[in-house]
Structure formats: structure tokens, C-alpha cells
Chain A
Amino acid sequence: MTATTTPPTSAAPGPRPAEEPRPAAPEAPAQPILAVENVTLAYGRKVVLRDVNLRVHAGDFWCLLGSNGEGKSTLLKALLGAVKPSRGRILLRADFARRTRIGLVPQESEVNTALPTTVSELVLTGTVGLSLDSRSCDSRLRRVLDLMGLQRQRHSNFWTLSGGQRQRTLVARALIRDPLLLIVDEPTAGLDLAAASGLLETITSLSRDKGITILFVTHDLGIAAQRATHIALFKSGRLVAGPTSEVFTPSNLRDTFGVPVEVLRDGTGSVSVRVVQKDGGTHD
């Protein structure tokens, strides 16, 4: 499957441009694994996102960027079925409809702090909805704990682990589902540099080596610049989304974050960003 080549889409599609000559018959676009069509999300009367459109194809690495309270996590919850759209619809490709191949790495704060749990118990809850016997569960548990370097902590109290170990436990819980789509909600928040970098590398390798589609919520422009194939920018209840090369532009970033941002591309295709400060200085 190839990454989408659809142009950036605004939440409120404008009028159709004048007829243009059609290019030679293109290859039929791959069916998206996830399509969000004109979706409006609200809590009671408070509209969080309005008329959102998004098409995610297999193998994409999407970064969802925006300030706090702009609806990134709400959109994820809607994709997961935890929040119902007040308008529009969310379509999952047929093989995803039962959600058995969707993994979620939530913000750590989503886990109920009032309850005691261990690494293995928490990771095994990821098998809910899968038809696995206890041997398969054990085998998958061993595999994901090995992958995340948590084998020694399997009987440890989840709440006594370091922040990085807790996040790796949540990644392991997502991976035990053998996911094709991995939804990751600000996994590096609160982690030290080494833990954050290790976790990012793991997630990137899942996308690169295993072809897992990633939806990654973050505030970090650097992560988006270096790892995303596609970007979705959230601002004032609207969404601008598309391939990184088209959406990750200084004007879009300024509109989203309210500060001037430089986007630098070198000859190797590597992208970096700099925030331009009021005094004319910059920082990465």
C-alpha cells in the first residue's frame, strides 16, 4: 500500500475549483483503512471539532499537532469509538471493523490510578476481544515484554515503575494485539530525554520495519518534522491535513501555534524546524 497522495484537506471543503484537464488515468487509490467524513465532535453543546475530514492509508505515519484543548485526543477517542460524532461518520476498513488489529497507547493519565496492577496484568488486558487461548496469550506476552525490554519487570507493580517503563508497558499492551493501526497519544509527555528518545525510536521502527500505521499525537514539532509522512494540524475546531511536504509549512504552523516557525529541508530530505523569537533569534 502506498502513502496517500491526496492534497491537504481543510475541514470545511471550499468550492470545487474550475474544471482542469484530467491527468492520465491514475492508479486506483488504495482504500483507506480509516476515513473520517465531515465529522463534528462535541461534548454536550460545546463543539470541539467541526466538519473534520481525514483519510488514513496503510503504512502512513500521521502526526496530529495542535495546542492543548484543540481536540486531538477527542478525535482519537472518536476513532476508537469512545466518543460518538454528533454529525458525520467514521469508517473503518472491513478488516478493522471489529477493532482487533487496532492498538492504543494512551496518555498515562488514562489508566485508573485508584487500582493496583502489575505489568503482566495490564499488558494482558490488551488481549480483550481477541480469540486467543491461554498459551497464545502467554507467548504473545513474552514476545512483547522482550521487545519492550520489560521481561524482568513483568510481576512489578505498574505504579512503582519509572515513567519510561510505564509508557513502554502501555506500548507493550498495544502491541500484544498485533496491531495494523497504532494510535499513540502524547507518549513522550513527562519522560526524560533518553526515555523519550528510546520510545520514539521503538515506535518509528514499528512503522518502518513492520509497516504498522501510526497516528501519533504530539506537541513536538521536531518529532513531526523528522518522522511523520502525514500531518494533521488542529486549530479552532478545524483540521488541515495531508502529506508532510504539503502541510508542514511555515504559514500553516504559524496559524496553528501562533508563533513564526521556520521549516528547513536539507539535501537529504531531512526536515527540521526553528521557532523564530520576537527578537529575531531562533531555537530548535
Chain B
Amino acid sequence: MIEAFLESWPLFQEGYLAAILCGVLLSLLGVMVVGRNEVFLAAAVAQASVLGVALSLTLEWGNPVVLAVSLSVAAALSTAGRARRGGGRREEITAWVFLGASSLAVLVLTRSPVGMKSVQSVLSSSLLGASTTEVWVFAIMTLIAGVAVLAWHRRLVLLLLDPVMASAAGMAVGLWSTVIAASMGLASGLAIQCTGLLFAFGCMVLPALIARNLSRTVGPMFLIAPATGLISVVTGLLLAHAYDFPPGQLIVAILAALLVAAWGIRDLRLRISG
């Protein structure tokens, strides 16, 4: 199985590398998303990206990638800003973005069969169409995210555990939230364009949820989540190649199964520790 997979590597290497790098990058950012209880926000940001593609194709305006990323970042920042101002409407804004973007994306494409096909391809997650440029972009973003987590590990843990204490310790919490939201919007927007909505959303949320159930502290989540993402993507690509399954869907299914296993392990650990 592994030999056959390696033989296919030269043909699909950009797609494989993009999937692996996206898996690691989104899993790492996902710790911040899950830690701040923003899973629903991640879904809304993903839908905003799809709307960007739809608008670009229908209006024949600009590059779909640029519009998708712009709308993702805008969606992430709008909710971050609302949270910073202390408004109680954050959930409402997130729901509004999710539902508005989902419905608008279909409505604007109703009269554009070609555009509808493109959006369906984004929604269904095809991993094998990445370009060399995309691989480089994801490699650089993964490297930056990894270095940032290493350099500011304790600050990120404090920001997740207790933002008020983070302020008391002199952290500019508003600025941190904005940078995190912008990073999430940027990574989601680019990843959804390259790997599809299901894969990107799955990699952002599921590895971090698995890490939260397996870890006893916040710190190791930043290691467990990307490691889970990496292993799942590689395993999924191998199995998809061997048994001719769509890789994006298979990887997400593997992650979903691992989450069930993580729940079991957590329950067992709690029972043993009394």
C-alpha cells in the first residue's frame, strides 16, 4: 500500500503536500478556535469564503481566491471586534454570517451553472488540484504559526484560559484577538480554495477537539492537535489511494472516528482517577 502511494507521489505531490501542510496549519490554529469556543465561528468564516468564490464567479470580478480570503478575514474580524467591545451579540453575528453567506452563495449562483459547479467542487473538497505556489504559501504560513506558538506559548495559554488576567498581565488582548481572527480568516480562506470546505473545516476543528480530550493541560494541545492532523492526513491519503476513496472525506471521517476514541479515553481516565 505504501509503495503504491509513494509511486503516485510525483504525480500528485503538490496536492499531497498542500493537504499535509493545511492539515498541520489548520489544526494548530484550531486550538485557538476550539479553546475560545469559536467552533461555530469557524463554520461561519468557511461559508463566507464560499460566498467570496460565488460572488467572484457571478460578477466576473477579481480573483476568486482574493475575494474568498477577503470575506473570510472580514467575517472573522467582525466577530472579534464585537467580542472586544463587550457586546452580547457575538453569537447573533456569527449565526448571521453563517446563514447569510450560505444562502447568498447559492442565490447568486442560481443563474450561473458553471459557477454552481465550481462552488460544488469547493464544498466537496478535492485535495489533488493544488499548485506549487499554494504549497509554498502553506509551508510559510505553517512555519510562521509554529514559530509563533513556540515563542508565545505561555501567553497563548493565558489568553485562552483567562483573557481578563491576560489584560492584567499587560497583554493587548484586543490586538491579540484581532491577529488571531485575521490569521484564522486568512488560513481558512486559502485552505478552502485549495482543499475544499469540508476538509478545511474538519482539520480546523476536529484535531483540536481530540487534543482537548486527550490532554490534561492546555500547553500540550498545541502539539497533540497538529500531530493528530498530520497523522490523519497522511493515513487518509494512503487509504484513499489504496481503496480509491475521495481523500478529503476520508480524512475527515478518520478524524471524526478519532474524536469518538478520544471521548472514550477521556471518560476512562476520569473514571480511573476517580
Query: Does A99 contact B161, Cβ atoms closer than 8 Å?
Result: no
**Contacts beyond the supplied A112-B160, A121-B157, A160-B273: 20 A-B pairs with Cβ under 8 Å:** A44-B87, A81-B168, A82-B167, A82-B168, A99-B168, A102-B168, A106-B162, A112-B36, A112-B161, A114-B212, A115-B160, A115-B161, A115-B212, A115-B218, A118-B216, A125-B157, A128-B155, A128-B171, A173-B165, A183-B168
Q: How far is the CA of A37 from the CA of B37 in the complex (A)?
A: 36
**A77–B167 CB distance below 8 A:** yes
Chain A residues, CB < 8 A from B36: 112
- Name, among A104, A118, A128, A173, the residue most crowded by chain B CB atoms within 10 Å (CB to CB): A128
Which chain A residues (98-131) contact chain B, with CB distance < 8 Å? 98-100, 102-104, 106, 110-112, 114-118, 121-122, 124-129
The residue from A43, A118, A129, A160 contacting B170, defined by CB atoms under 8 A apart: A129
Task: Check B85 for interface membership: any CB of A closer than 8 A.
Answer: yes
Of residues 68 through 91 on chain B, the ones whose CB sits less than 8 Å from some CB of chain A are 85-87
Pair B154/A128 contact, Cβ less than 8 Å:
yes
Among A83, A110, A114, A118, which residue has its beta carbon within 8 angstroms of that of B162? A110
User: DSSP class of B's interface residues: helix, strand, loop or mixed?
Assistant: helix
The distance from the CB of B9 to the nearest CB of chain A, in whole angstroms, is 38
Whether B218 lies near A129 (C-beta < 8 A) is no
A225-271 residues at the B interface, CB under 8 angstroms? none
B35 interfacial contact with A, CB 8 Å:
yes
Alpha-carbon gap, A118 to B219, bound state (A): 10
Q: Are B87 and A104 in contact (CB under 8 A)?
A: no
Residues of A within 8 A of B86 (CB): 43-44, 83
**For residue A124, which residue of chain B has the nearest CB?**
B154
B216 to A, closest residue via Cβ:
A116
Interface positions of B from 85 to 130, Cβ below 8 Å from A: 85-87
Size of interface on B: residues with Cβ below 8 Å to A: 31
Report the bound CA distance from A83 to B168 in whole Å.
11
Residues of A within 8 A of B169 (CB): 99, 126, 128-129, 177
> Which residues of the partner chain B approach A104 to less than 8 Å between Cβ atoms?
164-165, 168
> Contact: B161 with A122, CB < 8 Å?
yes
Chain A positions within 8 Å of B180 at CB level: none
Within 8 A of A (CB), among B218-243: 218-219
**Residue of A106, A114, A160 ringed by the most chain B CB atoms within 10 A:** A114
For B216, what are the chain A residues with a Cβ–Cβ distance below 8 Å? 116, 118, 157
Q: What are the residues of chain B within 8 A of A206 when measuring CB–CB?
A: none
Q: Which residue of B lies closest to A121 (CB)?
A: B217
CB distance from A160 to the nearest CB of B (A): 8
* B35 partner residues in chain A, CB cutoff 8 A: 112, 114-115
Residues in chain B near residue A77, CB distance under 8 A:
164, 167
Q: Which residue of B lies closest to A177 (CB)?
A: B169
Q: Is A98 a contact of B154 with CB atoms below 8 Å?
A: no
> Which residue numbers of B lie inside 8 Å of A, CB to CB?
34-37, 85-87, 154-155, 157-158, 160-171, 173, 212, 215-219, 273
Smallest CB gap from B215: residue in A: A116
**Interface residue? A275 (CB, 8 A):** no
> Do the beta carbons of B165 and A81 come within 8 Å of each other?
no
Q: Assess the A114–B37 pair: CB atoms within 8 A.
A: yes
Q: How far is the CA of A103 from the CA of B168 in the complex (A)?
A: 7
Most buried by B among A100, A118, A121, A177: A121
Bound CA span A77–B219, Å? 26
Q: Are A82 and B173 in touch, CB under 8 angstroms?
A: yes
Q: In whole angstroms, what is the CA distance A122 to B166 when docked? A: 12
Q: Tell me if A80 counts as interface (CB < 8 A to partner B).
A: yes
Contact B155 A80 (CB under 8 A): no
B218/A43 in contact, CB under 8 A: no
Contacts of B85 in A (CB 8 A): 43-44
Residue in chain B with minimal CB distance to A118: B217
The complex places the Cα of A81 from the Cα of B175 at a distance, in Å, of: 12
Contact among A44, A100, A111 for B161, CB-based, below 8 A: A111
Q: A83-B86, A121-B157 are in contact. Are A106 and B165 (CB under 8 A)?
A: yes
Contacts of B165 in A (CB 8 A): 104, 106, 110, 125-126, 173
Contacts of B163 in A (CB 8 A): 82
Contact B161 A117 (CB under 8 A): yes
In the assembled complex, the Cα of A116 lies from the Cα of B266 at a distance in Å of 11
Pairs A–B under 8 Å by Cβ, sample size 7 = A112-B161, A117-B161, A124-B154, A128-B154, A128-B155, A128-B166, A128-B171
Q: How far does the alpha carbon of A98 sit from the alpha carbon of B170 in the complex, in Å?
A: 6
Instruction: Give bound CA distance, A114 to B36, whole Å.
Output: 8
Question: B residues within 8 A CB of A173?
Answer: 165
Report which of B37, B158, B273 forms a contact with A128, defined as CB distance below 8 A.
B158
